[in-house]
Structure 1
Amino acid sequence: MEKLKCIIVDDEPIARDIIESFIAEVPFLELKASFGEPAKALMYLHENTIDIVFSDIEMPKFTGLELVQSLTNPPVIIFITAHRNFALEGFETGASDYLLKPVRFDRFLKAVNRAKEYLSLKKTTSVHQINPDRIFIKSEGKLIKILLNEILYVEAQGDYLKFVINGGSYTTLGTLKSMEEVLKLPMFFRVQRSFILNLEAVRSLNGNMIELIDGKNISVALNKKEELYLLLGIR
């Protein structure tokens, strides 16, 4: 069994000891390092690939939130805190879960099982192109066929992609960059970092705002506006 590599970041030795003992009880987890100082953890993360970080939020000099915000490609983050009110702030940084101190083993196990499932899904291909005119995406536990000309737009939402088609939408794991290889000109155009749209779905233009046929309004990046107008035949 391939183990998930973990580190712990907490300025309290007793809290680190508890999480270390919990990790030792879970066969698919492997503790690689444990830190009392977030700055040292940050240096380690820049030099090593880790699957899960268990981090306290409130620490002197450098908080767990600041630690995560310093990472360009963070692993799964499970925050550990004595304060429930920090949870919302933690989720806003992209944390997958949070554990309240004193941490119970059953709650810890639930969090790491969820992380394991997420990481397993992330490693699998979520979008398959079998024919030039259609794709299959993994969503809601099944493979769903989507004809390319049905797609109005695709929106990046963190680690997920939202495909909006005539009459509905589907969400799957993936990046917009990977979809640029599938959804490309002359039918599709990436108008900004979070959206690829079907040019046939454009209803109206107003400056740097686009209205689509479903009523959705999307802004166009300034460096994309001129190219978009040319693609739509507007001089």
Structure 2
Amino acid sequence: MPPGSIINQAAWDLFNYNRTGILASSSSRTNVFIRTKFQPVNDSRPDIQVIIGTPNGTSLWTLAYLLQPNSRGRVILASRDPTDAPIVQMNYFSDPASHDVNTLMEGIRRVNQIFSTAPMHNSGFHSFSNLSDDIEFKNYLYGNKSSTANSNSGDHFTGTCKMGIDSMAVVDPRLRVRGIVGLRVIDASIMPFITSGNTQAPVYMIGEKGAQMILDDNNSTGTSAASSLHRSYNFSIVIIFYLVFYISTLIKQH
């Protein structure tokens, strides 16, 4: 263990005793949400998420995530064979106006501001001195012309089967795939827009809501069938009653 590390024997003892303390928490201990100048005036959502972690108690790692990208990827069928993996095109930083790159650069500048404060310097942490201008930042971001080695996805993929009522919607507001009976999509792919932050909690909500929709629709179908059966049963009783009445009348006449 590094000298002065908060992950010491006492931390191990506490975790082994009752599963609490520093070892029971995530290394991503701090999240900062930022609304940059590139976010539209009428949109109050943050567009940058900064995650600050402590892997060993003496150092920090920092990630800046773009929350509202303008670039759009594609998922394309590779062939008619359903066993063939689809073609996934991420298209990172492909928006013509460079909105995504500029927003992410602004996020990194904010991170630099945090690490340039006196408390950070007094604790031995420093900002990215080699990212002082846009050219240096873009060289770092893109790495070279064929890769973006210093940038990657947060793996919060969404929106490939969006919900809606327009012509581009894959599922309707009850998450049913349009044109196919008995098939629903219930996951992050139905989001028309990505949430401003981690998608795990919204996916829990989508799962709960989708499950309730299935139950409600099944109960509604069952109730309708039972109601139809009840009406048919009542109608049969009425017919039998009139038949009995008619036969009784004939018997009395004879």
Say whether the fold is shared (TM-score over 0.5).
Answer: no
Structure number with higher helix proportion: 2
Structure number with higher strand proportion: 1
Larger radius of gyration: 2
Q: TM-score range by the shorter chain?
A: under 0.3
